[in-house]
Amino acid sequence: MNQEAHDIVDELKTFDDKPKGGGVYEVTGALSFLAFRTARLQVLLAEEQERSAAKLERFTKWLVYFTIGLFFLGIIQIILMFCGH
């Protein structure tokens, strides 16, 4: 995971959810802070997921081509087995 994402998670773990003054502005500020940090975390995780999906797509294409190759190799072996005699 991205280092910035780790930092945000650590920051949210240690976030003090009890405002010191108890005023409306302090609660609103805390909620704004939490909303901003969690939104940034979602963006970072979405970017990480996008990179992982692209990598997985490449491996899946390779696996499909490998499977098709094995299929045709099996067909060739069957043909040689029956026609080789």
Give tens-digit pLDDT for 7-38.
Answer: 988 888 887 766 566 566 577 777 888 899 99
Reported as half-sphere exposure (CB side, CA atoms, 13 A), residue 38 has a value of: 9
Sign of torsion, CA 43 48 49 51? positive
pTM greater than 0.75 (yes/no): no
Cα of first residue to Cα of last residue in the chain, in angstroms, is: 59
Amino acid, res. 36: F
From 18-22, 31-35, 54-58, 76-80, the region with the lowest mean pLDDT: 18-22
